[in-house]
A and B are shown apart, each in its own frame.
With several copies, the nearest count.
Chain A
Amino acid sequence: MDAKEIIARRVAQEIEPEMLVNLGIGLPSMVANYLPKDVHVFFQAENGVIGLGARPPEGMEDPDLTDAGGGFVTAVPGAASIDSAMSFGLIRGGHLDMTVLGGLQVDARGYLANWMIPGKMVPGMGGAMDLVAGAKQVIVAMVHTAKGNHKILPECTLPLTAARRVSLIVTDMAVIEPTEAGLVLKERGPDCSVDDVIAATGANLIVHGDVPQMQIA
Chain B
Amino acid sequence: MKHAVKPGEAAALIPDGAILLVGGFMAVGSPHRIIDALVARNARDLTIVANDTAMPGKGIGKLISAGAVKKVVASHIGLNPETQQKMISGEIEVELVPQGTLVERIRAGGVGLGGVLTATGLGTPVEDGKLTVEIDGKTFLLETPIKGDFALIAARQADYVGNLEYSLTAHNFNPIMALAGETVIAEPQTIVPVGVISPDAVKTPGVLVDHLLERAH
Contact = CB atoms under 8 A, between A and B. Distances in A.
Interface of A: 20, 40, 42, 45-51, 62-70, 75, 77-86, 88-95, 111, 116, 121-130, 133-134, 159-164
A162 B174 contact: no
A68 B180 CA distance: 24
A162 B28 contact: no
Interface string B115-129: 000111111111000
Given A79-B199, A85-B176, A124-B74, A162 B29 contact: no
A48 B124 contact: no
B163 A130 contact: no
3 closest pairs, A vs B, by CB?
A123-B78, A163-B123, A88-B100
Main secondary structure of the interface of B (DSSP, over half): mixed
A28 to B, nearest CB: 16
B179 A84 contact: no
B12 interface: no
B84 interface: yes
Contacts of B101: 129-130
Given A62-B168, A85-B104, A92-B112, 11 more contacts: A50-B205, A65-B167, A81-B166, A83-B171, A83-B172, A83-B175, A93-B112, A124-B76, A125-B75, A125-B98, A130-B101
Nearest to B139: A163
Interface size class, chain B: 35 or more
Nearest to B78: A123
B169 interface: yes
Nearest to A79: B199
Contact of B122 (A68, A90, A162): A162
Contacts, number: 205
A126 B76 contact: yes
Contact of A129 (B84, B98, B174, B200): B98
Contacts of A125: 75-76, 96, 98-99, 124, 126
A81 B167 contact: yes
A134 B171 contact: no
A84 B28 contact: no
Contacts of B118: 92, 133
Contacts of A45: 169
B186 interface: no
B63 interface: no
A83 B104 CA distance: 12
A47 B166 CA distance: 13
B99 A127 contact: yes
A79 B156 CA distance: 18
B4 interface: no
A159 B207 contact: no
